[in-house]
Amino acid sequence: MSFLPRRRFLFLYSTTGAGHRAAALAIRDALHSRYGSRAEVILCDGLQALRLWPLDRFPRWWPFMVRLGGVPWGAFYRLTNSPALQQMLARSLLPLTGAAVGRLLLENPADVVVSLHPLFTHTFGSVLRRRIQPPPLVSVVLDLVSIHAAWCSPDCTQIFVPTPQAAARALAWGISPERLECAGLPIHPRFAATAQLDPADVRVQLGLPAEGPVILVAGGGDAGGPLFKVIRAIAARLPEACLVVIAGNNARLRQVLAEQIRVAHIEGFVENMDMWMRAADVLLTKAGPNTVAEALVMGLPMVLYHVIPGQETGNVKWLLNQGAGFWAPNPERAATTVATLLAEPRLRAEMSAAARALARPASAIVIGDALWKLANRA
């Protein structure tokens, strides 16, 4: 009987937005689909597990950090976007973070440590570097184009980036080509399967009308920013359309919408975003990387109404240049752009083809396979 090895993977994510955990789940499920119980994945909300103030407050502060149009956050992003500064910060904070990081690694022994958040990459790299035989550290970059230097520690054995533009940035920061792999942003494998379904059948399953346009509106995990005004403008401009709003964790938005605006479906955080996307004709969304990557696989034309300065800025230009999206940064313009798209099937078809050309539907599987090989090589 042949011996089938078991391998342990420590996935470090944070709930600063919904995308980091979603990516961790996508890779975990891809590993399980390929290697079954031989792949043991430890999902760790690193900022909470470290129990270090103020790091453990970041998820709670995140919605406030990106308010005011994200201008303060964008300035902070640019000021700290330097490999030298990230290395210096990691070294200077080591006396404060080293013991907690060491404890977390001791409590969760792993064959490979995977960082799915930029705050962990240099911090854990600094600790692992001091060990005699440390497990490999891998960074899975979850920003599409405008990536931050915090993702790219020289202590990483491998860094997965989602686009050639992101790879170019990492190379410019001195990351060697053999440690980089352009694998796409990891989204759940079920999106590729759902993309093959008949949209009419999906509408029936979701209780949506078989005929007429369906507009899907998404605002990320926190569904903040100008989303309410955008929804109001869309509802006024296209009263006959079926408007579906994914409001994430924003319970207040769900309540206000239910009281003030006629919306066909108001959903909170959903586990079947693939189904809602497949049923829609147009996606109106902020330029969050996970939602964008998922919509590309579904071939769903996108209208972008908001962007967080810094990590999301490059997403807009990238989609526009490739013909997969429109930029509509105010409610009236967003409503007009959606109305134009619904009136022009040929334009939607062209955008759908452009989106599918950019899609990386097997991203989570590619990354999972690479992690498995790395664990067995280590």
**Which residues neighbour 23 within 8 Å (Cβ) at sequence distance 6 or greater?**
13, 116, 140, 142, 185, 186, 187, 290, 364
Overall fold of domain 190-358? Rossmann fold (3.40.50)
Domain ranges of the chain: 7-188+362-377, 190-358
Task: Name the phi and psi angles at 115, rounded to 5.
Answer: -95, 120
Q: Compute the half-sphere exposure of residue 160: CA atoms within 13 Å on the CB side of its CA.
A: 25
Per-residue model confidence (pLDDT) at position 178: 96
Per-residue model confidence (pLDDT) at position 378: 61
Mapping DSSP to helix (H, G, I), strand (E, B) and coil, where does residue 4 land?
coil
Q: Which of 56, 58, 23 is nearest to 291 (CA)?
A: 23
**Which residues neighbour 361 within 8 Å (Cβ) at sequence distance 6 or greater?**
187, 189, 191, 192, 195, 297
CA 268 to chain centre: 17
Residues of the chain short of pLDDT 50, as ranges, are 1-2
Q: Which helix (H) or strand (E) holds 13?
A: strand 7-13
Interatomic CA distance for residues 373 and 353, integer angstroms: 34
Interatomic CA distance for residues 74 and 261, integer angstroms: 32
Per-residue model confidence (pLDDT) at position 1: 39
Interatomic CA distance for residues 208 and 224, integer angstroms: 25
Interatomic CA distance for residues 175 and 167, integer angstroms: 9
Do 292 and 144 meet the contact criterion of CB atoms below 8 Å apart? yes
E strand intervals along 46-144 = 112-115, 137-140
The DSSP string of 356-370 is HHH--TTHHHHHHHH
Q: How far apart are the first and last CA of the chain?
A: 23
**Which residues neighbour 350 within 8 Å (Cβ) at sequence distance 6 or greater?**
323
Side chain identity at residue 175, one-letter code: I
Query: Do 7-188+362-377 and 190-358 agree at the fold level?
Result: yes
pLDDT in tens, 64-117: 777 666 778 788 899 999 999 999 999 998 999 999 999 999 999 999 999 999
Tell me the residue length of the chain: 378
Q: Which of 54, 62, 47 is nearest to 16 (CA)?
A: 62
Map tokens 């399980």 to a residue: 32
Q: Please report, for residues 20, 177, 238, the alpha-carbon distance to residue 243 in angstroms, rounded to integers and kept in the order given.
A: 27, 45, 9
Do 188 and 364 meet the contact criterion of CB atoms below 8 Å apart? yes
For the structural domain made of 7-188+362-377, what CATH number should be given? 3.40.50.2000
Q: Please report, for residues 205, 209, 372, the alpha-carbon distance to residue 200 in angstroms, rounded to integers and kept in the order given.
A: 9, 9, 38
DSSP letter at 179? G
**Which residues neighbour 15 within 8 Å (Cβ) at sequence distance 6 or greater?**
21, 45, 47, 59, 221
